[in-house]
Amino acid sequence: RARDPQQPEFLQAVQEVMVSLSDFIAAHPKYAESGLLDRLVEPERVIQFRVCWVDDNGDTQTNRAFRIQHNSAIGPFKGGMRFHPSVNLSILKFLAFEQTFKNALTTLPMGGGKGGSDFDPKGKSRGEVMRFCQALMLELYRHLGADTDVPAGDIGVGAREVGYMAGMMKKLTNNAACVFTGKSLSFGGSLIRPEATGYGLVYFVDHMLRSKQMTLEGLRVSVSGSGNVAQYAIEKCLQLGARVVTASDSGGTVIDEEGFTPEKLAMLMHIKNDRYGRVEDYARERGLRYEAGRKPWGVKVDVALPCATQNELDADDARTLVKQGVKCVAEGANMPCTLEAVDVFQHAKALYAPGKASNAGGVATSGLEMTQNAQRLPWTRDEVDARLRSIMADIHTNCVRYGDNGSGGTDYVRGANVAGFVKVADAMLAQGVW
Ligand code: NDP
């Protein structure tokens, strides 16, 4: 805390992990030796740099960008790039810290990293986005490599932006090795990667519910966000027979008591992905109820899937959901629930899964993209989906193994933290102090 007094999100993430590891470490003192915990919370390297580019009016713009190379104990740094005005060191350090455990949980050899910029892609032309991505790569390229650091997308960074950055990387290095995942299918992307986080989240929820003899069939689900994770979470929920009654963005929430259908979802995706439009446009065009400035958590549901951004669900939201009988909350976004909200869910004995377990399907499939690129062989949709399902099942099993709550249930927070920690910590101990 003394070192990072102005990094609340980073401190929040570290606190959540350390509190839940404390019993385990007390019972296994080797993990407190050789300064392991201090080394684990300190990023191996933090890069901050200036990005200058020229907008459509001919004016020069200056943004700030970062890459946090948090931990490479089990493989090259891996984690997305985020473009959003809120991006700062605290948010990226929290994301890189979380990513380290999440990547370990996938069982694939990937270390943890994260990066991004305070560049706001909203309202920018295609040319401006491309020039910004290229300008950013003029510095970032020297820190990346297939065996060094492999970024991907995140908020504000989809296949288009990844394509511009990967293209510039190749131009600058004269090397076509895989240094980005989430690429378009036309140049090395993996089938199912766009769907993977949302699908993986719902596969995980399915395991959680089945552990309590329930399924998604017929359950009411609220989803927040309407970006990549939200869209495919909705799609998989529909395929498993659930009724999804909300979606949102930073403007507000659409509430649809009848529930999404594949046709309605296709329209939402068209508005968000092709027109770069708003949930409000979708609600208006479909004649649905829209609540400006509101989040989805006031709606009565069985399952809540926060898929937008960090700290979007607080203790009051959690109490409202619990009062209305929520049975399961699983994070599609990274740290969308505040620590206090998580406490409310756990006290109420609602099933609750932290993002590092339930949204790990995206990075897992990025790992599969790296393998396909290294093999120079694309796998079929079914093959990637089968591996994604099996990875999510394994993550669930590991959470159950390490997360026994002493009364026949699973503390998914502890299970995910301990399982991820053991893998990273063993690798760090084996590699000596550096
Ligand atoms: P997108 O940019 O595709 O979508 C983000 C969505 O969240 C948009 O609907 C956006 O609305 C909304 N949003 C952003 N900020 C806020 C806010 N302050 N209040 C309310 N809504 C907000 O991003 P992704 O879907 O890729 O990512 C969503 C979350 O999932 C992030 O936390 C990300 O780190 C996490 N994640 C993503 C993975 C992936 O594979 N994509 C993998 C694992 C985690 P608006 O358009 O108004 O900004």
pLDDT, tens digit, 9 for 90 and up, residues 131-165: 999 999 999 999 999 999 999 999 999 999 999 99
Residues 205, 305: contact at Cβ < 8 Å?
Answer: yes
Q: In the predicted model, is pLDDT for residue 2 greater than 90?
A: no
Averaged confidence pLDDT in the chain: 96
pLDDT of residue 3: 79
Q: How confident is the model over 89-107, as pLDDT tens digits?
A: 999 999 999 999 999 999 9
Cα distances from 373 to residues 40, 146, 188, in angstroms, run 30, 10, 6
Q: How confident is the model over 235-247, as pLDDT tens digits?
A: 999 999 999 999 9
- Binding site residue list for NAD(+): 197, 228
Q: In the predicted model, is pLDDT for residue 394 greater than 80?
A: yes
pTM of structure: 0.94
Cβ 197 under 6 angstroms from ligand 1:
yes
Q: Which atom of ligand 1 is nearest to the CA of 154?
A: 26
Q: How confident is the model over 26-76, as pLDDT tens digits?
A: 999 999 988 999 999 999 999 999 999 999 999 999 999 999 999 999 999
Cβ 308 under 6 angstroms from ligand 1:
yes
Percent of the chain exceeding pLDDT 90 equals 96
Q: How confident is the model over 249-286, as pLDDT tens digits?
A: 999 999 999 999 999 999 999 999 999 899 999 999 99
Amino acid code (one letter) for 228: N
Cβ 250 under 6 angstroms from ligand 1:
yes
Q: How confident is the model over 275-284, as pLDDT tens digits?
A: 989 999 999 9
Cα distances from 131 to residues 54, 117, 125, 162, in angstroms, run 7, 14, 10, 13
Q: How close is the Cα of 291 to the center of ligand 1, in Å?
A: 19
Higher pLDDT, 377 or 406: 377
Q: Residue whose CA is closest, atom 17 of ligand 1? A: 250
- Binding site residue list for substrate: 78, 99, 102, 153, 366
Helices 361-375 and 193-210, packing angle to 10 deg: 130
Residues 332, 198: contact at Cβ < 8 Å?
Answer: yes
DSSP assignment letter at 379 = P
d(CA 210, CA 251) in angstroms, rounded, equals 35
pLDDT band at residue 215 under the 50/70/90 scheme: very high
- Binding site residue list: 78, 99, 102, 153, 197, 228, 366
Region 211-230: mean pLDDT is 97
Q: Residue whose CA is closest, atom 29 of ligand 1? A: 333
Short-list 165, 182, 76, 183, CA closest to 119: 165
Q: Which atom of ligand 1 is nearest to the CA of 334?
A: 32
Q: Best of 249, 265, 276, 366 to mutate for ligand 1, by most ligand atoms within 8 A of CB?
A: 249
Q: What tokens appear for 321 in the block?
A: 């959901």
Cβ 81 under 6 angstroms from ligand 1:
no
Catalytic residues: 114
Q: In the predicted model, is pLDDT for residue 406 greater than 90?
A: no
Cβ 107 under 6 angstroms from ligand 1:
no
Q: Which atom of ligand 1 is nearest to the CA of 230?
A: 25
pLDDT of residue 1: 63
Q: How close is the Cα of 21 to the center of ligand 1, in Å?
A: 28
pLDDT band at residue 195 under the 50/70/90 scheme: very high
d(CA 157, CA 180) in angstroms, rounded, equals 12
pLDDT of residue 384: 98
